[in-house]
Amino acid sequence: MDFLNQLKDASSKDQNLDWANLCYYWEKNEQLGQVSENNGRILFMGDSITEEWGRLYPDFFQSNDYINRGIGGQTTPQMLLRFKQDVINLNPAIVFILAGTNDIAGNTGPSNLDMITNNIFSMAELSMSHNIKVVLSSILPVDKYPWADHVKEVPEMILKINQQLKSFSQKHSMIYIDYYSFTVGENRGLKKEYTTDGVHLNKKGYEVMSELVQDVLRKEGLAA
């Protein structure tokens, strides 16, 4: 049994044995392989918001040959653990990082603002050190998490994190993409027309995000 199958077998018995879900994109990464710098690859790193983007709006990824590396439910420490494998080793020209909402919900335990932002900053710094352009994404608005309704002051936490991400981007000459302002609605949650459950997006919501992405890429000379 090769290593990947060993990992899959072990994690099927105990998910904690592959806590970061390294096996999730292992085979797809092998198929893509490494390429030289300035290859033009555009990659999206994230959680279910990113993963579902590829499922609900597949044309956006397929027609543009964008790489989706989202895994539902993941928190920033999990993403940081797989960042080398799922981002750095693929050597994209640019990476869009969208992360943090599941940390607020407590998916892998309690987190505070510094823990969340430090993990995102580490992913950004890893990218910069490998000459990968970074786009830090605002966390989408959420009023409350259906699976974690005990978590209070969610909108306030999201706004604080977004401000930190924006400030970090400005300080380090990175790009900040503000999905939040274009999707926020009543009670500082997602606009009802963009969501299925108050946290996740429908296709209409993804169309808004996709146009914002294309605007960024056009400015960077990476999209028509």
Q: Where are the domains of the chain?
A: 36-219
Residue 160 pLDDT greater than 80, yes or no: yes
> Fold for domain 36-219?
Rossmann fold (3.40.50)
Dihedral class, residue 188 (left if φ above 0, else alpha if ψ from -120 to 50, else beta) = left
Residues of the chain above pLDDT 70, percent? 91
Q: By three-state DSSP, how is residue 21 classified? A: coil
* Residue pair 87/131 in contact by the 8 Å Cβ criterion: no
pLDDT (0 to 100) of residue 11: 60
Q: Is the pTM of this model over 0.85?
A: yes
Look up residue 4 and give its two tokens.
């990947």
pLDDT level of residue 223 (50, 70, 90 thresholds): confident
CA-to-CA distance for 50 and 13, rounded, in angstroms? 27
Q: Per-residue pLDDT averaged across 162-189, rounded? A: 98
Q: Dump pLDDT digits (tens) for 37-73.
A: 657 899 999 999 999 999 999 999 999 999 999 999 9
CA-to-CA distance for 164 and 167, rounded, in angstroms? 5
